[in-house]
Amino acid sequence: MHISEGVLSPPVIAAGWAAAAAGISVGLKKTAAQKLPETALVSSVLFLASLVHVPLGPSSIHLTMLGLAGILLGWSAVPALFIALLIQAMLFQFGGLLSLGVNTAVMGAAALSACGVWRIFPRGKDAAPGSMLAAGTKPAAAFAAGFIAVITGSAFVTLALFLSSRDLASTGALIFAANIPLAAVEGVLTALCVLFLQRLLPHYVAK
């Protein structure tokens, strides 16, 4: 979901930076001091997950783990994503500094959509106090969160390319279609991670 440098139009770049700045600001305000280690750890996971990527036109396909980030961090995922994307842009030229705002906004929106899916999933009668989900519904909710995160991110990438140039509309559609199988893979991985964390650190996923 990295959009390469030199592809986006100036208005889209400006809008992306405005959206990213707003998301980072809200995320920082909602990140308590005791949550910083968790946020840093998830930022590292996001950084590593997208190191292996397949170029596809002006973007790329790669694992994102945005669903897990949204589940664990909520709004704090946005500044975590910004740091991960900034380091990738500077060290590996994934994306770019001008497109960093749009990439942050796109992936931040994807993580927040996953957070929303996770939190609105129906409660089960066996849900623990403070938990939004019963143990039996957690895998389904986690799969949905991981799936929706990729679909949302792909949709915003497609929109950003379309708004930058109508000539990129077909490329955006190709990127969206190519990410649908990835969405299913991400859903499975997110569900497996949540099941693991449920056994090891249940307070992290009982939100």
> Domains (ranges, CATH) in the chain?
10-205 (1.10.1760.20)
Report the 10 Å Cβ neighbour count for 190: 29
Q: Which two tokens stand for residue 37?
A: 């280690």
**Among positive and negative, which fits the CA dihedral 16, 21, 24, 30?**
negative
Q: Please determine, for residue 126, whether its predicted confidence score (pLDDT) is greater than 50.
A: no
Q: Report pLDDT digits (tens) over 36-64.
A: 888 888 888 888 777 766 666 555 667 88
Q: Please determine, for residue 157, whether its predicted confidence score (pLDDT) is greater than 80.
A: yes
Q: Which two tokens stand for residue 201?
A: 């650190």
For residues 144-152, give the mean pLDDT: 95
Give the DSSP per-residue string, 2-71. PPPTT-S-HHHHHHHHHHHHHHHHHHHHT--GGGHHHHHHHHHHHHHHTSSEEEETTEEEE---HHHHHH
104 or 53, which is more confident? 104
CA distance 160 to 157: 5
Give the DSSP per-residue string, 138-200. HHHHHHHHHHHHHHHHHHHHHHHHHHH-GGGHHHHHHHHHHHHHHHHHHHHHHHHHHHHHHHH
134 or 166, which is more confident? 166
Q: Which residue has the tokens 């770019």?
A: 96
According to the model, what pLDDT value does residue 7 have?
A: 87
